Structure 1
Amino acid sequence: MSPWILVILAGLLETGWALGLKYSEGFTRPIPSALTVIGALASFWLLSRAMQDLPVGTAYAVWVGIGTVGTAIAAVILMNEPVNPLRVFGILAILGGVAALKFA
């Protein structure tokens, strides 16, 4: 499988486990807690596999970027977090940085 696909999947899982941290309520809810841990481990494993073929800095930045942007967007949708110009600018800046690293 392409290392880029692995990084994308890892980033999506990062979004999932980051949201899971909220839903686990400090790891006091067993099912959300277990899903969060499983998602985190799977995300780390996929990232480590991708790093076998990609530069570490680029793979890590793309993984974090996908996770950050995905979590911010999901939080707006699922948790009614506010949308304002600064938040939108921040998301666009992250996307620009990730794109620059991928094509550098």
Structure 2
Amino acid sequence: MFELMVLIGLVFGLGLAILATWIVLLSIYVLFRFLGFAVKASVASIFLLPLVLLTGAIFFLNVVIIGMPLLIAFVLFRSLMGHFRRDEPDTFIVQTLPPDSS
């Protein structure tokens, strides 16, 4: 269970890190445009928008399609396990018959 949670965390962290990187790069680009600098189009900038869209799609996939059902299932599992948990341990009473005296 712990390994699965670590794997999910790594996937979410990677998607979030990629998205944050693109947001920072786009913010720098917009800042330069607002300051009046001309940013020339190059071969690298042609691939910028599809990569941003792909990153957004990966993040959307992580959060909505994978993350939300896992989060709901985890919360339901924890609440059900907490509901059925008992503080006292299971005890078994074994009734033995006295030895036959015949």
TM-score tier after normalising by the smaller chain length: 0.3 to 0.5
Q: Which has the higher helix share?
A: 1
Please identify the structure whose Cα radius of gyration is greater.
2
TM-score (structure 1 length as normaliser): 0.39
